[in-house]
Amino acid sequence: MLAELIFGILVWVVIIIIITLVGSNLFAIMVSEQIRYLRLIIFYTPLPATASIASNPEPVRGYVSWALGENPKPVDCAHVRYTGRMRYGHTGRWMEMNGEALFSLAAPGFVWHAKIAYAPGIGIEALDYYVHHEAGMTFSLFSLLPLDTANSDEIRSSSLFRYLAFTPLFPMIYRSSGFIGWETVDELTAKAIIRDVDRSVKAVARFNGQGRIESIGTYPKTYPEIARPVPGLFANRFSGYADVAGYRIPMQIASEQILPHGEYVCAEYSITDVVYNISDTVKGRAA
């Protein structure tokens, strides 16, 4: 009897290992495909010329001057790595996570990949992307079994907002982007508007008066017919600024987010590495 029990346990362990390996490979292919597509867009989309920030609201001008300094180098993408933790709900259990993200600067676009330790031996992988005006969000148990997904039409606007909410990680975009505009609110607050083809999203950016941007947020929205929160809309709070490659960026980010089925999620990110792609190709397109 004991031998049969041990054999059964071993069989289940082997099955879980196989499922995890297969799921991890399939999920990696899905992530790689979105990254490949985004890199093609990055390579072929011309960078806009550097623009004057004189017409921007005062807190934006102060922040951009402080974050960029005299750094003139053109950048076409930012590759970010991070660790952190997340939880479901306001009082849920914290779960460790790590991952990476790729952001395009010539056109709005990102691919965000995360691995979450749900429990010992049980992992969740997440993919969040906005590539060529299309968006998607997927959470999978063992990288194979879908837990939560959202289609493009449902989250395009919120995905565009998420891109905007992480732009302090690549602040050089504020000096060259033709798709992000600003409006004055008061001496420490400005409204940001990001546009992509037929879609635009607004957000509120708050500054501390000493050069730093403290948060980018939006008001929660719901579908009127069912009163369910629109997935993806959230707020980012920034702290722990440091000099990275000549730019001042936040190394700590606290986020609030709504998942596709309406669950509230809180996440805390510690940025471990940021690489800005500066190449002859980029300089040639920016010239």
Nearest 5°: phi and psi at 77? Answer: -160, 160
Structure tokens at 231: 């997935």
pLDDT tens track for 136-165: 888 887 655 666 677 767 688 889 999 999
**pLDDT confidence of residue 282:** 42
Q: Which helix (H) or strand (E) holds 160?
A: helix 152-165
Higher pLDDT, 269 or 7: 269
Nearest 5°: phi and psi at 91? Answer: -130, 15
Question: Once rounded to an integer, what is the mean pLDDT over residues 184-197?
Answer: 93
Domain boundaries, the chain: 2-286
* Cα–Cα distance for residue pair 72/50, rounded to 1 Å: 9
**pLDDT confidence of residue 118:** 87
Positive or negative CA dihedral for 169, 105, 161, 202? positive
Q: How distant, in Å, are the alpha carbons of 17, 232, 279 from that of 135? A: 31, 11, 28
Structure tokens at 116: 């979450």
Structure tokens at 221: 């929205």
* Cα–Cα distance for residue pair 102/115, rounded to 1 Å: 15
Q: pTM to 2 decimals?
A: 0.84
**pLDDT confidence of residue 140:** 81
First to last CA, the chain: 76
CATH class of 2-286: mainly beta
pLDDT tens track for 78-137: 999 999 999 988 889 999 999 999 999 989 999 999 999 988 878 889 999 999 999 988
Q: How confident is the model at residue 286 (pLDDT cuts 50, 70, 90)?
A: very low
Residues contacting 186, CB < 8 A, separation 6+: none
